[in-house]
Chains A and B, each alone.
Chain A
């Protein structure tokens, strides 16, 4: 019976909930609908805003692209056939604490079969070959606040005097030296393996020479690469005068086999140079140098070489072209030798070169060099004449064509005709050109 009594009560409760909850559900749905509508409107506004911004950016991009390459003219067949600009593989943002440079210097020496057979051309053992004279890897930069350093490693075909041609590449350490920058008394000093400051061209690397080959007098007195690869220490000063005066003094092992060769600091190679410069403003600039090197030869004789050099350069106003360069350098050698009778003798030898170069513009230059030299020990002398043309597509690429006629007497008796072709390139960092 109690069940029947409870039924109306339950119905009442359900009805009450129905009456009470019905309007609340309706209110929630309305609110949600309004919220949804608001979100839809916001979404539409944002979409529209972004569409406008995208359109604006697209228009701007189109405009910029249009400026860079106008689409007015379709590329012609000739346009399509032209070679594209070179692409690059380097990545941006590389940071190194020193510079790296690579230079390549390739030379061809065309000459007669006789010169090739006798290996007595300018590039002995490499006649009628295209050979890498010097491919150089160079690292340079600051060591710390007090010093800078340079390391040069090179590979190339070395000169030979034997019966066979030189074909093997030899790799060697050309230079490795540190320069001390903060010494007292205005002194700058470097130590290690280096090209010493002697004469005008000794510090110039093979690929930077004014002509394809090193002048005869330098090659005869010191070897094809002149006075390079010396181990020692060198100090230099810019003297405190109103004009430029540089004084350098060096003490080296004396490893150069052609001129010295003792290779010991017990009897070192001493080198000194004084160099001055006269700034002639519109009339150009004139550099003069006087050098001396004295050391001991491998057989214990003293050899002293003195050098006097001069270089004049006139540079056209405005674009810096044309440029006229006149340069000359003379050497005198005073060397002790063994006489035929077994005693000590003495030979005195001289030699010089002079050249004139005219740079028409940034790309083209032509010049003429004349050489005359005696042999440093043997009896003999030679003279040569070398006209040349130079083409530089850019600062980093250079080609040269040089003809050389040589006439020798005594130990170098011959008449040689040679044609040199040279191609040089620089990759990466390169030192600034000097006067």
Chain B
């Protein structure tokens, strides 16, 4: 039998060399500029408004990409590796970031660490499931509906969470961050008045959407959720559900079916045609449509498109 300890010595030598090569970069000394990673484009747009020119804000998903069934890409490991602060949704929409963090060698971004901001903290969350929860309900969010940034009324809390998280690591920037936040909230308040006015004639209008993305938006602008085509998230709807939904739409004279741009529109088109309504394809995240990469531009686009569709 020929055995040798040479491979073991080679491995140890290789490990030592790797350590020598990696060491200069790995300590990642604290820099004065913020290096923030947001998991989702809406949080990216909001965080950018707060950070301004105090640092750089990256996003782990592409605008217009469906975060519900996201596939982990190696390029996301690089983003996680470089960031010093992570802004995450706080519910279950971006749970895919956890395995990335665990394999990225950046323990500062592990859940529960001071460098992690949970944007949903302190918000009143809609649609928290109360009955028995299992996969017969589809790929549900047990912690509640995570699309809260579509209600501008949540931004005071969301931005306060972000500023608190950033200032925790950079107390020297707290004042500037808070000033940026106030300026941003003022802009949002002015825009909210504009959005409310645009949708005021349609208050109470019954709406149907493909995915259950819009409860906060409906709540913010006094619209009514008549139904959701994909009644069990991630599972194509059953014919009997669609038949019942079409009946309801006819009875309530629903005019518009909202479809998030990352979902196929064929089912929604068929439902809308049968119910005498029209399909409105909307981006659910900032940046998915050219010129909408800020929070206000994104909401402007949503409100204007919807108001126009309801008017027709």
Contact = CB atoms under 8 A, between A and B. Distances in A.
Contacts of A295: 7
A25 B264 CA distance: 87
B30 to A, nearest CB: 16
A243 interface: yes
Given A91-B132, A432-B70, A296 B3 contact: yes
B99 A431 contact: yes
Contacts of B66: 319-320
Given A92-B132, A181-B110, A435 B71 contact: yes
Given A185-B22, A244-B78, A318 B261 contact: yes
A70 interface: yes
B130 A85 contact: no
A164 interface: no
B81 A427 contact: no
Contact of B22 (A69, A186, A276): A186
B71 A185 contact: no
Nearest to A247: B18
A414 B87 CA distance: 58
B215 interface: no
A235 B14 CA distance: 12
A239 B22 contact: yes
Interface in B1-35: 1-5, 7-8, 10-11, 14-15, 18-19, 21-23, 25-26
Interface string A51-74: 000000000000000010110110
A238 B240 contact: no
B263 A319 contact: yes
A246 B21 CA distance: 13
Nearest to B100: A432
B235 interface: yes
A280 B217 CA distance: 34
A237 interface: yes
B267 to A, nearest CB: 11
Interface string A75-100: 00001001001111111100000000
Contacts of A427: 135
A240 B25 contact: yes
A49 B135 CA distance: 44
- Interface size on A, as a range, is 35 or more
Contact of B136 (A70, A85, A275, A299): A85
A398 B70 CA distance: 18
Contacts of B135: 394, 396, 427-428
B129 A92 contact: yes
Given A179-B102, A272-B14, A321-B264, A285 B75 contact: yes
A188 B99 contact: no
B276 interface: no
A82 B8 CA distance: 65
Given A240-B81, A320-B262, A435-B71, A270 B10 contact: yes
A113 interface: no
Contacts of B144: none
Given A72-B247, A88-B137, A393 B240 contact: no
A211 to B, nearest CB: 18
Interface string B98-114: 01001111110010100
A266 B103 contact: no
A5 interface: no
A174 to B, nearest CB: 18
A435 B26 contact: no
A340 interface: no
Interface of B: 1-5, 7-8, 10-11, 14-15, 18-19, 21-23, 25-26, 64-66, 69-75, 77-78, 81, 95-96, 99, 102-107, 110, 112, 129-139, 226, 234-236, 238, 240, 244, 247-248, 251, 261-264
Given A89-B132, A237-B18, A318-B64, 19 more contacts: A69-B244, A72-B251, A85-B136, A86-B136, A185-B23, A238-B81, A267-B3, A270-B8, A279-B75, A300-B3, A301-B2, A317-B64, A320-B262, A321-B264, A362-B236, A395-B69, A395-B234, A433-B69, A434-B72
